[in-house]
Amino acid sequence: MKDTIVTKSYLMFCNQPERDFVISMGITSQGFKIFLIDHAGIITTDVIPFNYHNCALVFIRMVMGLAFLPDSYIGVDATMNFPKLVTPGKKFEEAYPPLVVTKTSPSMPVFNARSLPSWLTVNGVKKDDRLTILVGEQVYPVKSTIFRSQSLVGRGTTVFVVKLPDGTLGVLKDSWNLVKKPTESLAITKLDLPFCPRFVDDHHFKNAETTRFQTAARKEALIDETRIKERMVMYPAGVHISDFSSLWELIIAFLDVIIGA
């Protein structure tokens, strides 16, 4: 069961860039276990038996929460609007209408009764049929995905081509970085090299973190790592290959492409 949950969580992270963490529940003859997996690792509970009133209440909360809570409460980044299409021109929620919850501020704590962090809810973001990502207060329409890291624990980097407010195209990088290391944007801004990326205003935005779940668990994680989800928006970098000044420069450009591939 554990191997299956880890494998399915890995596949979800690979195919859902808007997925921050995955909550799963495994049922056995003795009771059930709760699994929470993010890019910092996996947190599990001990077997929770069914023959206690409090344990049965946790089970009911898990089932009700997975069925009724908003997506942002169960691991989906609300700042990334990625509508899923089951058939051309038909959205997933139209083919399978979701259950409607009337309560505006649901709360179903599983581990400890703690206040939810501010990054779990996003207000004022208009949902539409476009693929969009929110960075700060700016919404960027997504044109395409040019890189995706196929990993479970680690940075989980995804790079998008987005439309900038001035109508030009830019690059948006979304990754889970270690808090103990300097940010990538800090390193790039200190490099005095030609044709390096130039950042758009409000380029560095912290959106989520993994500390909350680690501190809520009763057992310490085997890997003591805290990761923060960060986004950077940059203008395109480099020079077009057609802008070469000599045949030697053109050959070197092709050589760099071959080595990079």
Query: Given pLDDT bands bounded at 50, 70 and 90, which one contains residue 162?
Result: very high
**Closest of 210, 177, 230 to residue 42, by C-alpha:** 210
pLDDT in tens, 114-148: 444 443 333 334 444 478 898 888 889 998 888 88
Q: Is the pLDDT confidence value at 163 over 50?
A: yes
pLDDT at 90: 62
Q: What is the 3-state secondary structure (H, E, C) of 112-135?
A: CCCCCCHHHCCCCCCCCCCCEEEE
Quick one: average pLDDT of 35-48? 86
Taking residues 64-80, report their average pLDDT.
86
Give 58's pLDDT tier (boundaries 50, 70, 90).
confident
Q: What is the pLDDT of residues 83-118, one digit of tens each?
A: 654 455 666 666 656 555 555 555 545 444 444 444
The two structure tokens encoding residue 13: 């992270």
Q: Nearest 10 degrees: CA dihedral of 84, 87, 90, 94?
A: -70
Residue 220: alpha-carbon gap to chain centroid: 23
Q: Reply yes or no on whether the pLDDT at 41 is more than 80.
A: yes
Place of tokens 């191997």: 3
SS3 content of the chain, % helix, strand, coil (to 5): 25, 30, 45
User: What pLDDT does 113 receive?
Assistant: 40
Least confident of 32-36, 45-49, 57-61, 192-196: 192-196
Q: What are the tens digits of pLDDT across the range 172-210?
A: 999 888 887 777 777 777 777 666 778 886 555 666 777
How large is the C-alpha radius of gyration of the chain? 22
In this prediction, what percent of the chain has a pLDDT beyond 70? 71
Q: Percent of the chain, pLDDT > 90?
A: 6
Q: How many Cα atoms occupy the beta-carbon half-sphere of 37 within 13 Å?
A: 22
Q: What is this structure's pTM?
A: 0.69
**46: Cβ–Cβ under 8 A, 6 or more apart, which residues?**
33
**Residue 99 and residue 67 in contact, taking contact as beta carbons nearer than 8 Å:** yes
Residue whose pair of structure tokens reads 């003591």 in the numeric block: 224
Enter the tokens of residue 22. 């995955």
Distances (CA, A) of 115 to 74, 106, 120, 176, 210: 15, 11, 11, 23, 15
